[in-house]
Amino acid sequence: MSEHTTLDATLLSLLACPQDKGPLRLVHAADGSALLYNPRLRRAYPIENGIPVLLVDEARDVTDAEHDAFSAQADA
């Protein structure tokens, strides 16, 4: 089940990757799910029921194709 998730711009600017403490990007995966993406580490954090899950153990590595797609979203 996919959901369209938006985060307030102020909240998004305050969120940081728990691993490298850098900024995160809000992106949408191919299945429509929203993720918080760290392009430096190529790691994606889930958003469950509108709540970012910023736990290192919950993040997943992204493929090269996903990285390209997520980067294109940020550039759009």
* Residue 11 three-state SS: helix
Amino acid 5: pLDDT: 60
* Closest among 70, 61, 72 to 27, alpha carbons compared: 70
Mean pLDDT for back-to-back runs of 10 residues, the chain (76 residues) = 63 93 95 95 95 96 96 84
For the entire predicted model, the pTM comes to: 0.87
